[in-house]
C-alpha cells in the first residue's frame, strides 16, 4: 500500500505533456497579427508591381511615340534639329560664362571696396590714439570685407598678430562672430622647440613655415578630432564643433635683408561648415589676395606709428618757467 500510495503521489504530481497549456504558435491573437503582416506585405508587393508595370508601359509608349516623330522629322529635314542642338549648347555655354563672370566681377568689386576702405582708414588715422587701437580698427574693417566676399560659406574669422608685450605669442587682435571664451587663444612661435610642438598649433606653424594650411575636422569613435597633427585643442568636449574645416593664411610682409627671407606679420584664420570649401584653389587664391591687403594695412600702420614716434622725439622740450 505504501508503495502504491507513493506511486500515486508521483503520478498525481506529474502531468502528461499532452495536457500542458500551449502558448505562442497556437495563440489566436498572434496568428491574426502575423496574418495581417503577411497580407500587407503581399498587398504592397502587388501594388508596387502593378504601379511599376503601368508607369513602365506609359513611359515606353510615350518614348516610342516621341521617337517615331523625331525619326520622321529627321528623315524629312535634319537641319532644324542641328540648329536646335547647337542653340541649346550655346545657351548653356553663355549661361555658364555669365555665371562665372558675375562671380569674378563680384570678387573684383569686393577687392576694390576693400582697397577703398583701406585708403579711407589710413586717411582718417587718429594720431591721438594708440597704435594698436587704430590697427585693430583697420583690421576689423578688412576682416568683415573678407568674410562678406564668401557670404554663408565662411562663418567666422580672426586675425592673429604677435602680442606687444610678448612677441613670441600670437594673440587675437580682431575677430568676427567669435565666442568670447575663444578670444584668449595664444599660439607660441618663439625659439623653444619643445614649446612649439605643444603650443604652436596649426596657426603657429603656418606663421613659422609661411605656408597656407587647411585643417579638416573628423568624427571618430573617440569624438571629434583633426587631420592636422599640429592642431591645438583648447577645450575638451564631446560636442560637435561649429565648423568642419578652417584655413590659416600667413600674412606675408616685406623682405628682410638680414635673414634673406620675407617676414611673416601674422595669420588670417577663417572657418566654414563645409569640409571641402577651403580645398578649392580659386578660394585660396582670393584669400591670399585679402591677406596681402591686411599685410599692407599693418605695414602702413607701423610706418605711421614709427614716423609719429620719431617726430615726437625730435620735438624740442618746451621752455620751463623760472
- Looking at every residue in the chain, the average pLDDT score rounds to 80
> Does some domain include residue 286?
yes
**Domain containing 267: what range?**
129-310
Residue 315, in any domain of the structure: no
Model confidence at 205, pLDDT cuts 50, 70, 90, reads very high
Q: What is the pLDDT of residue 317?
A: 55
Q: Which residue has the higher pLDDT, 16 or 233?
A: 233
The domain that contains 179 carries what CATH number? Answer: 3.30.450.40
pLDDT band at 302 (very low <50, low <70, confident <90, very high): confident
Residues 6+ apart with CB under 8 A from 249: 206, 212, 267, 268, 269, 270, 284, 287, 288, 290, 291
8 Å CB contact between 141 and 121: yes
Residue 39 placed within a domain? no
Average pLDDT over residues 261-284: 93
Task: Single out the residue of 225, 158, 207, 167 nearest to residue 185, CA to CA.
Answer: 158
Residue 90 in domain: no
In a domain, 282, yes or no: yes
SS (H, E, C) 39-95: HHHHHHHHHHHHHHHHHHHHHHHHHHHHHHHHHHHHHHCCHHHHHHHHHHHHHHHHH
- For range 207-221, the mean pLDDT: 91
Q: What is the arithmetic mean of pLDDT over 223-242?
A: 79
Q: Is 312 helix (H, G, I), strand (E, B) or coil?
A: helix
Q: Is residue 67 pLDDT above 90, yes or no?
A: no
- Residue 98 domain-assigned? no
At 33, list the grid cell.
497579427
Q: Residue 47: what pLDDT?
A: 77
Query: Quick check: is 6 in a domain?
Result: no
Give me the torsion for CA of 294, 298, 300, 302, rounded to 10°.
180
Tally of structural domains, the chain: 1
pTM: 0.67
Residue 27 lies in a domain: no
**Which one is predicted more confidently, 38 or 271?**
271
Amino acid at each position: 500500500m505504501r508503495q502504491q500510495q507513493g506511486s500515486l503521489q508521483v503520478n498525481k504530481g506529474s502531468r502528461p505533456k499532452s495536457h500542458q497549456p500551449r502558448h505562442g504558435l497556437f495563440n489566436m491573437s498572434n496568428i491574426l497579427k502575423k496574418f495581417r503582416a503577411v497580407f500587407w506585405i503581399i498587398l504592397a508587393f502587388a501594388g508596387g508591381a502593378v504601379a511599376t508595370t503601368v508607369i513602365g508601359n506609359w513611359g515606353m509608349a510615350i518614348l516610342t511615340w516621341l521617337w517615331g516623330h523625331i525619326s520622321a522629322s529627321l528623315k524629312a529635314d535634319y537641319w532644324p534639329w542641328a540648329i536646335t542642338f547647337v542653340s541649346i549648347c550655346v545657351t548653356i555655354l553663355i549661361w555658364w560664362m555669365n555665371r562665372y563672370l558675375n562671380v569674378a566681377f563680384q570678387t573684383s568689386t569686393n577687392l576694390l571696396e576693400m582697397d577703398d576702405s583701406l585708403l579711407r582708414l589710413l586717411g582718417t588715422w587718429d594720431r591721438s590714439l594708440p597704435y594698436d587701437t587704430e590697427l585693430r580698427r583697420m583690421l576689423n574693417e578688412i576682416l568683415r570685407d573678407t568674410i562678406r566676399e564668401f557670404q554663408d560659406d565662411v562663418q567666422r574669422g580672426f586675425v592673429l598678430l604677435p602680442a606687444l608685450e610678448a612677441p613670441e605669442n600670437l594673440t587675437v587682435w580682431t575677430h568676427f562672430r567669435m565666442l568670447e571664451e575663444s578670444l584668449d587663444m595664444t599660439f607660441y612661435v618663439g625659439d623653444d622647440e619643445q614649446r612649439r610642438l605643444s603650443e604652436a598649433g596649426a596657426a603657429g606653424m603656418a606663421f613659422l613655415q609661411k605656408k597656407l594650411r587647411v585643417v579638416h575636422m573628423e568624427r571618430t569613435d573617440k569624438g571629434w578630432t583633426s587631420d592636422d597633427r599640429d592642431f591645438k585643442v583648447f577645450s575638451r568636449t564631446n560636442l560637435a564643433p561649429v565648423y568642419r574645416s578652417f584655413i590659416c593664411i600667413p600674412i606675408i610682409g616685406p623682405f628682410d635683408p638680414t635673414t634673406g627671407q620675407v617676414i611673416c606679420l601674422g595669420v588670417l584664420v577663417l572657418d566654414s561648415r563645409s569640409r571641402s570649401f577651403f580645398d578649392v584653389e580659386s578660394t585660396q587664391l582670393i584669400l591670399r589676395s585679402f591677406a596681402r591687403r591686411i599685410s599692407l594695412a599693418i605695414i602702413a600702420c607701423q610706418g605711421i606709428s614709427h614716423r609719429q614716434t620719431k617726430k615726437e622725439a625730435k620735438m624740442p622740450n618746451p621752455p620751463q618757467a623760472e
